[in-house]
Amino acid sequence: MLHDSRILIIDKQGWTGIARLPKALSVAGFRVATLSAPRALISLSQYVDHRIHWKSNQAKLRQEVLYDFLEQVARAVDFWKPHWLVPADDQVVSLLLDIIRGTYKTDSVSLRQTRALIVNCLGNSDLYPSLFNKTETLSLAKICGVLTPGETYVKNALATYDFIENHGLPIVLKVAISSAGRGVQIIKELSQVEDFFKLHGQVPTAAQRYIYGKPVLRTSIAYKGEDLSSLCFIKEKCFPGEQGPSSVVSWLNHNDIELATKTLIGKTNASGFLSFDFMLESKTNRPYLIECNLRPTPVAHLGAKFGNDLCKALFNRLNGIEISNDKHINSDTIALFPQEWQRAPDSSYIQKYYHDVPWDEPELLQGLLLKINPLNHPGGKRN
């Protein structure tokens, strides 16, 4: 058993969704450190035991950026000596995957040891990086027998028109490397196709058949190919836009989604936090895999409320303790803060259901308020 279980969260983009995770990790038993910009939202959490800040650099070439990133992570690892690393956003994930692939040269013992820790906390399978690329994820899913919408890979408007001729409108266009709803668009009119490629350029893009139904996310904590614990939600509302992150979620049990998730985690020998997005078809109730995110999502901290505590499951596995589940929340629907408040300050979901505001973390709450510049008080039910 680890007498001093330490974890390091690596943050580059300062997303609001990750700022709630330190509390969940701390309550689970971890000592938490962050590597982030000064005054990043995640560093405002009172549950962070130590804050390490990025040092500015002038690196421009990808190889220079990667080496500087690895050096700074290695210094943080040497100081904090964590047992686990958590990438907070897709920029960090991208850099860590480059390190896993070994696209750098170093004779430093410290850097090699840090790389070994990164591999242990993410995955060493050749297939694992495929989960970061939206098009490769769907190809892998097909091999594993997981349902996908029916897609092809296009690089320009002309190829997209051919796909539309075969499948009709609407369709979904999705840039291969994208996150938080960016690079994704539902195409309802032909005129939108040219606009999409003018905006994103001729980059690898998936054209997908549109599935009529509800979006679902299943977020997991995995360890060497095993799904330790998961949370599955219908995305009732999203912000910004219908392709953005969740703002209201409702609990869902679905055996096919559970099987698909466990299959892909096992196939890629994945470790760490990751989330799979599905569309649950209205007519058939069949789930179609849309994409995967190799990082915590804005619901990852909610596990304890549903008895499926992702952070506790990781702590227990690292410490050789049995993992148990015991659902006990009063409401199966949750309005996420600040997402739902940004979407609709007078939202009926905020008034009717549990509103997940960090009332017990005043500095973090103030930081969130300053970031979104709200006009209304974040009301709703407290638990």
pLDDT tens digits for 349-370? 999 999 999 999 999 999 999 8
State the average pLDDT over residues 111-129: 86
Four-point Cα dihedral 77, 78, 80, 83, nearest 10: 60
Report the alpha-carbon distance of residue 86 to residue 376 in Å, rounded. 33
How many Å is the maximal CA-CA distance in the chain?
61
Is a pLDDT exceeding 80 seen at residue 124? no
Between 95-109, 120-134, 140-154, 282-296, the lowest mean confidence (pLDDT) is in 95-109
**Percentage of the chain surpassing pLDDT 90?**
71
- Comparison of pLDDT for 305 and 283, the residue scoring more: 283
Tens of pLDDT, residues 148-201: 998 888 989 999 999 999 999 999 998 877 665 678 899 999 999 999 999 988
Tokens of 369: 């308020």
Between 103-112, 192-201, 299-308, 316-325, the lowest mean confidence (pLDDT) is in 103-112
Is a pLDDT exceeding 80 seen at residue 342? yes
Domain(s) labelled CATH 3.30.1490.20 in the chain stretch across 150-209
Per 3-state DSSP, the chain is made up of helix, strand and coil in percentages (nearest 5) of 40, 25, 40
Domain(s) labelled CATH 3.40.50.20 in the chain stretch across 6-122
Q: Select 6-122's CATH number: 3.40.50.620, 3.40.50.20, 1.10.10.10, 3.20.20.80.
A: 3.40.50.20
Provide the pLDDT confidence category of residue 204 given band limits of 50, 70 and 90. Answer: confident
Do 20 and 41 contact (CB within 8 A), yes or no? Answer: no
Is a pLDDT exceeding 70 seen at residue 339? yes
**Percentage of the chain surpassing pLDDT 70?**
91
Between 54-68, 193-207, 248-262, the lowest mean confidence (pLDDT) is in 54-68
**Residue 114: per-residue pLDDT:** 92
213-329 fold: D-amino Acid Aminotransferase; Chain A, domain 1 (3.30.470)
Residue 261 CB coordination number (10 Å): 26
Helical H segments across the chain, by residue range: 21-28, 62-80, 90-101, 109-122, 134-143, 157-167, 191-200, 255-268, 303-306, 310-318, 339-343, 348-352, 362-372
**Residue 232: per-residue pLDDT:** 96
Cis before 82? omega within 30: no
| ∠ Cα 37 21 119 (to 5°) | 75
**Residue 375: per-residue pLDDT:** 52
Report the alpha-carbon distance of residue 344 to residue 374 in Å, rounded. 11
Backbone angles phi, psi at 85, to 5 degrees: -115, 145
Report the alpha-carbon distance of residue 164 to residue 281 in Å, rounded. 20
Tens of pLDDT, residues 212-239: 999 999 999 999 999 999 999 999 999 9
Find tokens 């599935």 and name the residue.
211
Closest to 340 (Cα-Cα) out of 354, 359, 360, 361: 354
Provide the pLDDT confidence category of residue 266 given band limits of 50, 70 and 90. Answer: very high
Domain(s) labelled CATH 3.30.470.20 in the chain stretch across 213-329
State the average pLDDT over residues 97-117: 80
CATH number of 150-209: 3.30.1490.20
